[in-house]
Amino acid sequence: MSKVIKIKRGLDIPLLGDAEKILQTPPRATEFAVKPPDFHGLVPKMMIKEGTRVKAGSPLFFDKYNEDVVFTSPVSGTFTELVRGAKRRIMEIRIMPDPEDDYIDFGAESLSAMNREQVIQKLLKSGLWPMIRQRPYSVIANQNDTPRSIFVSAFKSAPLTPDMDFVVNGQEDDFQAGLDVLGMLTDGDVHLGIHADQTMSKAFTEAKGVRVHRFKGPHPAGNVGIQIYHVQPVNKGEIVWYADVQDVIIMGRLFRKGIYDARKIVALTGSEVMNPRYYRIITGAQINSFVANNVRSEEGVTPRFISGDVLSGEKIASNGYIGFYDDQITIIPEGDKPELLGWLIPTIDKFSVSRTFFSFLMPWMKYRHNTNIRSGVRPFVITGLYEKYLPMDIMPMQLIKSIMINDIDMMEKLGIYEVAPEDFALCEYVCPSKIEIQTILREGLDTMRKEFS
Amino acid sequence: MEKVRPNFEKGGRFEKLYRTFEAFETFLFVAGNVTNRGSHIRDAMDMKRTMFHVVIAMTPVLLFGMWNVGFQHYKAIGMEVDLLDQFLFGLIKVLPIIVVSYASGLAVEFVFASIRNHEVNEGFLVSGLLIPLIIPVTTPLWMVALATVFAVIIGKEVFGGTGMNILNPALLARAFLFFAYPSYLVGDDVWIYTNLQEGQQLVDAFSGATPLAYLALGEVEKLPSVLEMFLGTIPGSIGETSTLAVLLGALVLIATGVGSLRIMLSVVAGGLFTGLLFNIFAVNPYMEIPAYYHLIMGGFAFGTVYMATDPVSASQTGTGKYIYGFLIGVITLLIRVVNPAYPEGMMLAILFMNVFAPLIDHYVVQANMKKRLKRMQTAEVKTT
């Protein structure tokens, strides 16, 4: 067995509402949507008009700056509505589904009969290519690059995230097929990060054709960025690709069955969910098909719906759609009520990493955490705090400051290529000055990307 | 709150006072503002609470300081009164200084917050209490006000406000007084309130000199006992005398994680190291005194716990904090023992290192960059 990589710095935020290991299949959603904003930095160009009939796998739009990257429909049905936001930005492509899915056939050839170029073309054509993302910049990979290596993290560590062992159960062959596909894309290794104690599924521990690394420690140990850093950090000029477990499974299905079968398992979690559990749905589904009637209703409490985890998910409406990369819906209470002398009173019902609340005396407690910011934004004051929640040899405060002053040289030297906003999510969580660290980091990454493209 | 709010919002009668209103509002209530992007949940800790815990940590020295003002006063005039009277005397003398410090400093903060249109920062909650604690009780109130205003404007606001300052504002206020009005800040007769009322007189053997003043004159034999210096029943600035009270405050800061243990330990290490070095190469009685004496005399303990640890003006990197703290300890002792002009060196040492902290950080950050660069080069060698 390989040695265990111990992540020492980090934090597991104790929240209520972990999903019970029960898998249900809810009724088919009445509406689906593909949301271009899920893909950071993408400028979509529509390929079809409203009213067009689509099949699962039919192209909807492509990337204006990389025309080979197309985005396809996860279900068959009718493209009913194009929702635009500010500046006419395309926000949602809504699809009314047919009762049964009709798939476009991409052909189920044996992988061994294909070369790298054919594999890439198949992924591009079927709309699965966006599942492969890259470091640096944490955006969709460029099919013309050859990555140094490819990483898959087989466990998640952010609060309330789904258990990947449970998710992969019954889909082991699809997962292995997906890993084989990834193996075709790089001359280097495919790395699979597993949890040293908790990952039990043989699909992960005995995966073939990959190098398995064992990790241990608090969040963000499960973040692929942290795993890349501890296995082989991204240097300037290097490109590393990565994909999520469920996306690897969908890729596996494409090559085994020849279709874009977009079913995935999502966890419904959070303190406001009555019965948190797992649901098998199709990506892009409207969430009320499985969320409705399962949300706690309490006088004066507005629930917040998040596609993804509480640290870096996306806020959506109660009838919104699950994001392309997300495998979790989290519902927590909004914190929109003023609180008398809230900053002063020592309480036990609030979680804090500082020991100024008495909650630190009760490590077994789980919290119903709301979305209150608890203060206005302040300049950086406290030092030495952020480092404790970023298990990388990167100086978080100095990096963020270099982004604020837009010093490209400094950002590069401080290691911006190695990080993604999600890796800094805990820094943002603990920041007593309430600085939007993930947003700033994303701006920095955008600046660098623009500079070198 | 909701009723008066429109008066302060744009177009309202007191539009210019919006920031003032907001400061009071957020002081009373944690606003119902919610996250929008990024992390949906945020740690319950905020700046107000951080600063408030520093204030809590200062209460032991504040209370002891008040009592000591009374104690020293009655000792000087040879009157025996009970503890409560001693404390009340101190309270009456110290409270106006605190009020003046807060009022003048906050006034400046509110004005700048309105001009710059940002929220009022909480940093002054701490500075406003630190200033009274590090000056002699005899300092005239107008001087307190002047020094505070100077410190907030020149020390903080010209650099962009809280979080941007280079020097510790409270120490800057003291340094301002120290150089502008030396006769009020140094000497043997400033530390104890001795304005006599009718019928009172000083006791025969009275001297208001601090231990450091004795040492500067080479009068080692006049030093108070170790216990007196540790407990703090000696003359000095209002809050600095009691090492015991400072230790209580340090416990609060360390337990809550608000103050940097790293800096505190390295300042003490730097002080002890230099003290021992003096012991080894001692050429005069001052150099011979046990090294730990330095920790309990003057403002060493107070400066270590409340001043050197100011996160904004201190070194911001982990390694940098060790260097920064250690050098504060070293320089303090150098000024105390080797420099004939100033008996106390803590204030100047910290201010001096405040100036150098960015330089220390610069080299620590460079080291991190170099490591990354080296890693890249070795990676290139491997692949080619």
Which chain B residues have a beta carbon less than 8 Å from that of A393? 368, 371
Q: Please, which pLDDT band fits residue B321 given cuts at 50, 70 and 90?
A: very high
What is the torsion angle, in degrees rounded to the nearest 10, for the CA atoms of residue A368, residue A370, residue A375 and residue A377?
Answer: 120
Going from the N-terminus, what domains does chain A have, and what CATH number goes with each?
Answer: 263-361 (3.10.20), 386-451 (no CATH)
State how far the Cα of B69 lies from the Cα of B84, in Å rounded to an integer: 12
CB within 8 Å: B372 and A340: no
Confirm or reject contact between B374 and chain A (CB < 8 A): no
* Token pair 């070293």: residue: B330
Which chain B residues have a beta carbon less than 8 Å from that of A386? none
Which chain A residues have a beta carbon less than 8 Å from that of B45? 352-354, 356-357, 374, 430, 432
Confirm or reject contact between B24 and chain A (CB < 8 A): no
What is the largest distance, in Å, between two alpha-carbon atoms of chain A? 69
pLDDT for A182 beyond 90: yes
Residue of A365, A372, A430 best to disrupt the B interface, most CBs of B under 10 A: A372
Q: Tell me: the pLDDT tens digits for A81-125?
A: 999 999 999 999 999 999 999 999 998 888 888 999 999 999 999
pLDDT for B188 beyond 80: no
Q: Please tell me the distance in Å from B328's CA to the nearest CA on chain A.
A: 19
Residue A216 CB-half CA count within 13 A: 9
Q: Please tell me the distance in Å from A440's CA to the nearest CA on chain B.
A: 10
* Token pair 């100036």: residue: B355
Residue B28, pLDDT score: 67
pLDDT for B326 beyond 60: yes
CB within 8 Å: A432 and B43: yes
Which chain A residues have a beta carbon less than 8 Å from that of B33? 336, 372-373, 376
Confirm or reject contact between B53 and chain A (CB < 8 A): yes
| ipTM for this prediction | 0.87
Q: Which residues contact B167 (CB under 8 A, 6 or more apart)?
A: B155, B313, B351, B354, B355
Quick check: B169 and B151 in contact, CB under 8 A? yes
Mean local confidence (pLDDT), B227-231: 90
Q: Please tell me the distance in Å from B121's CA to the nearest CA on chain A.
A: 7
What pairing do the DSSP bridges indicate for beta strands A32-34 and A90-97?
antiparallel
Q: Tell me: the pLDDT tens digits for A424-444?
A: 999 999 998 889 999 999 999
pLDDT over 70, % of chain B: 90
Residue B187, pLDDT score: 74
With 0-12 / 13-18 / 19 or more C-beta atoms within 10 angstroms meaning exposed / middle / buried, residue B357 is buried
Residue A163, pLDDT score: 95
Residue A437, pLDDT score: 94
Q: How far is CA A40 from CA A443, A445, B189, B362, in A?
A: 11, 11, 69, 34
Q: Tell me: the pLDDT tens digits for A376-427?
A: 788 888 888 899 999 999 999 999 999 999 999 999 999 999 999 999 999 9
Which chain A residues have a beta carbon less than 8 Å from that of B321? 384
The DSSP code for A343 is: T
Considering CB atoms only, which of B28, B32, B318 is closest to A384? Answer: B318
Q: Please tell me the distance in Å from A380's CA to the nearest CA on chain B.
A: 6
Confirm or reject contact between B29 and chain A (CB < 8 A): yes
Residue of B28, B30, B37 best to disrupt the A interface, most CBs of A under 10 A: B30
State how far the Cα of B154 lies from the Cα of B83, in Å rounded to an integer: 40
Which chain A residues have a beta carbon less than 8 Å from that of B365? 395, 398, 414
Mean pLDDT of chain A: 92
- In the three-class reduction of DSSP (H, G, I as helix; E, B as strand; rest coil), residue B51 is classed as helix
CB within 8 Å: B44 and A352: yes
Which chain B residues have a beta carbon less than 8 Å from that of A335? 32, 34
Which chain B residues have a beta carbon less than 8 Å from that of A350? 44
Q: Please tell me the distance in Å from B171's CA to the nearest CA on chain A.
A: 18
CB within 8 Å: B43 and A431: yes
Q: Please tell me the distance in Å from A283's CA to the nearest CA on chain B.
A: 22
Q: Please, which pLDDT band fits residue B16 given cuts at 50, 70 and 90?
A: low
Q: Please tell me the distance in Å from A75's CA to the nearest CA on chain B.
A: 29
Q: Scanning every residue of chain B, which has its alpha carbon at the shortest distance from the alpha carbon of A350?
A: B44
Quick check: A138 and A40 in contact, CB under 8 A? yes
Residue of B42, B252, B365 best to disrupt the A interface, most CBs of A under 10 A: B42
* Token pair 């020094």: residue: B147
CB within 8 Å: A315 and B161: no
User: What are the percentages of helix, strand and coil residues in chain B, rounded to 5?
Assistant: 65, 0, 35
Residue A307, pLDDT score: 95
Confirm or reject contact between B119 and chain A (CB < 8 A): yes
pTM: 0.90
pLDDT for B381 beyond 70: no
Q: Tell me: the pLDDT tens digits for A53-64?
A: 999 999 999 999
CB pairs under 8 A between A and B: 203
pLDDT over 70, % of chain A: 98
Q: Which residues contact B325 (CB under 8 A, 6 or more apart)?
A: B262, B263, B264, B265, B266, B267, B269, B270, B308
CB within 8 Å: A332 and B40: yes
Q: How far is CA B36 from CA A276, A353, B39, in A?
A: 24, 22, 8
CB within 8 Å: B42 and A372: yes
Confirm or reject contact between B116 and chain A (CB < 8 A): no
DSSP state letters, B240-258: TS-HHHHHHHHHHHHHHT-
State how far the Cα of A443 lies from the Cα of A402, in Å rounded to an integer: 11
Mean pLDDT of chain B: 86
Residue B162, pLDDT score: 81
Report the Cα A191 to chain-centroid distance in Å. Answer: 18
Confirm or reject contact between B257 and chain A (CB < 8 A): yes
Mean local confidence (pLDDT), B306-334: 93
CB within 8 Å: A379 and B164: yes
Q: Please tell me the distance in Å from A9's CA to the nearest CA on chain B.
A: 14
Confirm or reject contact between B381 and chain A (CB < 8 A): no
Mean local confidence (pLDDT), A218-243: 94
The DSSP code for B217 is: T
Confirm or reject contact between B369 and chain A (CB < 8 A): yes
